[in-house]
Amino acid sequence: MKKDQYYFDVLIRCAAFGCDAALLLQESFAQFDPATVVARMEAIHEIEHKADDLKHEMIRKLGKEFMTPIEREDILTLSQELDNVVDCLDDVMQRLYMHNVLALRGDMLEFVELIVRCTQALHRALEEFPHFKKSQTIVVHIVEVNNLESEGDALYLEAMRRMNTGESNPINILAWMYIYEGLENCLDACEHASDVIESVILKNT
């Protein structure tokens, strides 16, 4: 493997971990069973652990590198943002566990579908990243991430409205707000990573 390609390949793999975690979260929601929350939480946490290991391996190599294909600060920032995507997905399952959720609200499946699509669009952008100067599609994928995050903002707004007008128990409201916030954080994390990609493109073209 060419030295320059190594960093791009690791970033692609980091994005793939986000896709894996999002699909597992979607499966957990679609087949939701309180009895399996702990097992599914541990499964997503295992993905998060692998993502951390990969990031730290790359950072160690980066610290010894004299020349890098893009600025080392950009590689570091992007790897951290991609790691944050997995962290946020991991956090959603932990929030379900902490609040002892016994059933999901209907719009949560719609929310997690957006998250899956967003992580996949981000992954496609990373696949184009090694040749970003010539790519005809990388900007399309970045825009898709931004659009999906905006859809998530609208979904979050309406979900909060429905909950606050239909739920009378303040403890339940606080618990659900915390979980919806976790879902929103996943989309925000994808957008933050795509913003770094866009920044690198602007600085290098």
Phi and psi angles of residue 102, each rounded to the nearest 5 degrees, phi first: -105, -20
Residue 2 is predicted with a pLDDT of: 61
Residue type, position 55, single letter: K
CATH T-level topology, domain 3-204: Methane Monooxygenase Hydroxylase; Chain G, domain 1 (1.20.58)
Residue 64 is predicted with a pLDDT of: 86
The total of other beta-carbon atoms located within 10 Å of residue 127's CB is 18
Residue 173: which pLDDT band, with cuts at 50, 70 and 90? confident
Residue 167 is predicted with a pLDDT of: 82
- pLDDT, one tens digit per residue, over 74-131 is 999 999 999 999 999 999 999 999 999 998 998 999 999 999 999 999 999 999 999 9
CB of 22 closer than 8 Å to CB of 89: yes
With a cut of 60, say whether residue 140 has pLDDT above it.
yes
Closest to 22 measured CA to CA, from 54, 44, 51: 44
Question: How far is it, in rounded angstroms, from Cα 171 to Cα 161?
Answer: 16
- pLDDT, one tens digit per residue, over 54-65 is 999 999 998 888
Residue 1 is predicted with a pLDDT of: 47
Residue 3: which pLDDT band, with cuts at 50, 70 and 90? low
Mean pLDDT, rounded, for 28-39: 96
Residue 170 is predicted with a pLDDT of: 87
CB of 183 closer than 8 Å to CB of 111: yes
Give the pTM. Answer: 0.95
Mean pLDDT, rounded, for 180-202: 97
Who contacts 189 (Cβ-Cβ below 8 Å, separation ≥6)?
81, 84, 85, 87, 88
Mean pLDDT, rounded, for 188-201: 97
Residue type, position 15, single letter: A
With a cut of 80, say whether residue 37 has pLDDT above it.
yes
